[in-house]
Structure 1
Amino acid sequence: MKSFNLESIANLLGFSSLYLKVVISFLVAFILVYSAIPKIIRVSYRKQLMDVPGSRSSHSKKVPTLGGVAIYFAITVVTAIFSAEMLHKDIFFSAALVMLFFIGLMDDLLIVAPRKKLYAQAISAVMIIVGSNVRIQSLFGLMGIYELPYLVSVILTTIVFIIMINSYNLIDGIDGLAGGVGVLISLCFVFIFFRLYDYSTGFLAIAMLGSLLAFLKFNLSDQYKIFMGDTGSMVVGYLISFMAIKFINISSAEWISISNAPIIAVAILIVPIIDTISVIIIRISQKKSPFSADKNHIHHRVLKLGFSHMGTSVIICLSNVLIIIFAYLLRHLNINLMLFLVIAAALILSYLPLVLVERMSKQKENKALINNSNK
């Protein structure tokens, strides 16, 4: 009796087995998260594993924070099935991911000291960098630098991992933003890795895409709301850093040679990057510590214009799309000029809400003065 596999099923359906794997991997990731989150929500309410609103919270009710558990679960299952080549080559990938998952879960359940989280992030980064040689090996002529010495490469890549994990965590402040930005980044990397024939890493991007889309359904819900928590933000932050560095490394190959790959990666990850940069600039200008908590993040600025959480998330995601298109149009420029223009454009977009808020407040003041003078 003839046995059926994906190849034969794809032939019966009349399309490539690769397309069938893409569809199946996406559906598996989506369905696993979609079916797991309601159970996580029930357990969270029963055990009171909730985020309690504080002075800086954008929510008024207690909300479960363990959405990242479902995201991690789905991504682990899908990559085990469809990204076996990547897991075999990057042997420390899973170990580093497990470490970040558990430190994030401990933080969501018990609260972990920032110092200990930083140690875990650094160790997980060094594991994948040294153990699997996933590191930034060249700057492609940025500031005149090409190939990096091994130790410099390890230190730089470790810093990139730590900054990106924490930057992604910082944008997880309103409904839909972290998930929406993650979906956009995943889509970009799906396109990139399949165009570069790195299907194994491409399936990792598909797993993240399906997981985050299912998570967004609940994150944007009024009745069944859930946050991804530190578990989700650390896992997704690690994954987007990993994929960005893989893209930069592949682009340095002679048969590909994408000369501005680091800047394209920056454009794709621009929301967490520029949010961190702009917040630090504001805090320093106000003579505050760069690490102090406040409401100066990009989503806070857009919220002040009167938009809802969903509207704010859509606006920021669309801004990310504009920066990616802008970077693509500039791809033939000198790498240093391209970086300057991309960062400048992103900073302008990030500070635009502040200008608009200030103008709105002045208009209100003027109206109040006119009304008072007419009385």
Structure 2
Amino acid sequence: MISYFNLMQNSILLLYFVIFVVLELVYFKIADRFNIIDKPNHRSSHQTITIRGGGIIFPISVLIYTLFNDFQQIYFVIGLLAISTISFLDDILTLNNKVRLGIHLTSVLLLFMQWDLFSFSWYWLLIALVFVIATINAYNFMDGINGITGGYSLLTIGSLYYINKSVVNFTSDELLLVVGLALLVFNFFNFRTKAKCFAGDVGSVSIAFIIVFFIGQLILKTQNPFYILLLLVYGTDTAFTVFFRKLRKENIFEAHRSHFYQYLSNHLKYSHLLVTFFYMLAQLLINAALVVFVNDNILHFGGVFLAFVTIYLVLRFSLEGKNKLMVSYNH
């Protein structure tokens, strides 16, 4: 009976995988037909014209899962589709910022409804709002080299699946696997020296929204806010890059190549995949420490945080130098 159930489950997952491959290939045809491409410029980390928006498979995977499973977690799904649609339009058109931000805020509020967060005190809503918006923006900022969005996200989904199976059950195993399969398909076309496609805003924003949804479920289930460290590498690179840009009196809302991963790939000429591997390895070690210390006191979580941030800053200052990081040359 168990083997029959496993066979059925594996067959369903294989069907999902085949559907995602076909849909991704269909999207490539559409993108090629309508010229949905990225052209290299002085801020780019790539040199060839590449299809943009391959990450559209992420929200599509959740939608297909929802259609097959009686429209579960509908507020989350509606919010995901709204934020993905506006992000896709932003990939191909120039949208009004107020419209885009309005849709983002609406999607976040729908996410809060799915979490039943409106039953909490107002300050928890504020903390959650900062967490969600910061994560979405961090993901968008970090999507700059081949493999990094897909690889880092696959590691995060894999870690969440392990926690769900072995530590505490907080969400659907199948939904985690479906998102993981979509990431595998995307990585096949992106995690390579010459990428077939990029995630685009639709990919980076939607996978951030999905991962935030899972981490929010985990934190609410366990009452352990330190699971936010599952995004520590992205969060650290984003936060300190913004901090250093402010020190240099730069406009933090302008496009740039100031992230550490961009310095490693563009200036030191490490391959995109090697830099991605470094980021994934760092986050993997952090995730392993989280699982080991899950029942321990706050000092262990604080130690993991401080250890990584210290190593990160030592590497940045030793490789980039104090002047490059902190001194403005515009005045």
Whether these two folds match at TM > 0.5 is yes
User: Judging changes above 3 Å, is the alpha-carbon distance between structure 1 residues 357 and 248 closer, same or farther for their aligned structure 2 residues?
Assistant: same
Bigger radius of gyration, 1 or 2?
1
In the alignment, structure 1 residue 236 sits paired with structure 2 residue 236: no
Equivalent residue number for residue 186 of structure 1 = 157
Equivalent residue number for residue 79 of structure 2 = 96
String of CA shifts for 1:86-133, please: whole Å, max 9, x gaps: x54x3311211110111011111113244433322211111221x334
Indicate if the aligned counterparts of 1:169 and 1:233 stay in contact, CA closer than 8 A: yes
TM-superposed deviation, 1:156: 2.0
Equivalent residue number for residue 275 of structure 1 = 237
Quote the Cα distance in structure 2 between the aligned partners of 1:207 and 1:36: 14
Which of 33, 36, 41 is equivalent to 1:49? 36
Q: How many matched pairs?
A: 319
> One-letter code of the match for 1:270?
L
Equivalent residue number for residue 106 of structure 1 = 89
> One-letter code of the match for 2:289?
F
Quote the Cα distance in structure 1 between the aligned partners of 2:101 and 2:304: 29
Equivalent residue number for residue 132 of structure 1 = 114
> One-letter code of the match for 2:188?
K
Equivalent residue number for residue 105 of structure 2 = 122
> One-letter code of the match for 1:319?
A
TM-superposed deviation, 1:155: 2.3
TM-superposed deviation, 1:344: 2.0
TM-superposed deviation, 1:298: 2.8
Q: Gaps spanning 5+ residues in structure 1: where? A: 1-10, 138-148, 253-260, 360-375
User: Judging changes above 3 Å, is the alpha-carbon distance between structure 1 residues 340 and 94 closer, same or farther for their aligned structure 2 residues?
Assistant: same
Indicate if the aligned counterparts of 2:293 and 2:301 stay in contact, CA closer than 8 A: no
Aligned partner of residue 269 in structure 1, secondary structure: helix
Indicate if the aligned counterparts of 1:305 and 1:356 stay in contact, CA closer than 8 A: no
In the alignment, structure 1 residue 354 sits paired with structure 2 residue 319: no
String of CA shifts for 1:144-177, please: whole Å, max 9, x gaps: xxxxx52222222222221111111111100000
TM-superposed deviation, 1:221: 4.2
In the alignment, structure 1 residue 299 sits paired with structure 2 residue 287: no
Indicate if the aligned counterparts of 2:146 and 2:195 stay in contact, CA closer than 8 A: no
String of CA shifts for 1:271-314, please: whole Å, max 9, x gaps: 22112211122112223344343222131132233310111111
TM-superposed deviation, 1:62: 1.4
User: Judging changes above 3 Å, is the alpha-carbon distance between structure 1 residues 227 and 294 closer, same or farther for their aligned structure 2 residues?
Assistant: same
Which of 137, 157, 165 is equivalent to 1:166? 137
Quote the Cα distance in structure 2 between the aligned partners of 1:338 and 1:117: 40
TM-score, structure 2 length as denominator?
0.86
Equivalent residue number for residue 262 of structure 1 = 225
Indicate if the aligned counterparts of 2:146 and 2:193 stay in contact, CA closer than 8 A: no
Which of 303, 311, 321 is equivalent to 1:341? 303
In the alignment, structure 1 residue 246 sits paired with structure 2 residue 217: yes
> One-letter code of the match for 1:243?
F
Quote the Cα distance in structure 2 between the aligned partners of 1:223 and 1:300: 17
> Equivalent pairs: percent with the same residue?
23
* Greater relative CO (CA pairs within 8 A, separation 6+): 2
Aligned partner of residue 53 in structure 1, secondary structure: coil
> One-letter code of the match for 1:334?
N
Quote the Cα distance in structure 2 between the aligned partners of 1:350 and 1:298: 9
User: Judging changes above 3 Å, is the alpha-carbon distance between structure 1 residues 201 and 136 closer, same or farther for their aligned structure 2 residues?
Assistant: farther
Q: Gaps spanning 5+ residues in structure 2: where? A: 322-331
In the alignment, structure 1 residue 309 sits paired with structure 2 residue 272: yes
RMSD of aligned residue pairs (Cα, Å): 2.5
Equivalent residue number for residue 15 of structure 1 = 3
Equivalent residue number for residue 122 of structure 2 = 151
Aligned partner of residue 249 in structure 2, secondary structure: coil
> One-letter code of the match for 1:240?
I
Quote the Cα distance in structure 2 between the aligned partners of 1:168 and 1:134: 25
> One-letter code of the match for 1:321?
L
User: Judging changes above 3 Å, is the alpha-carbon distance between structure 1 residues 346 and 79 closer, same or farther for their aligned structure 2 residues?
Assistant: farther
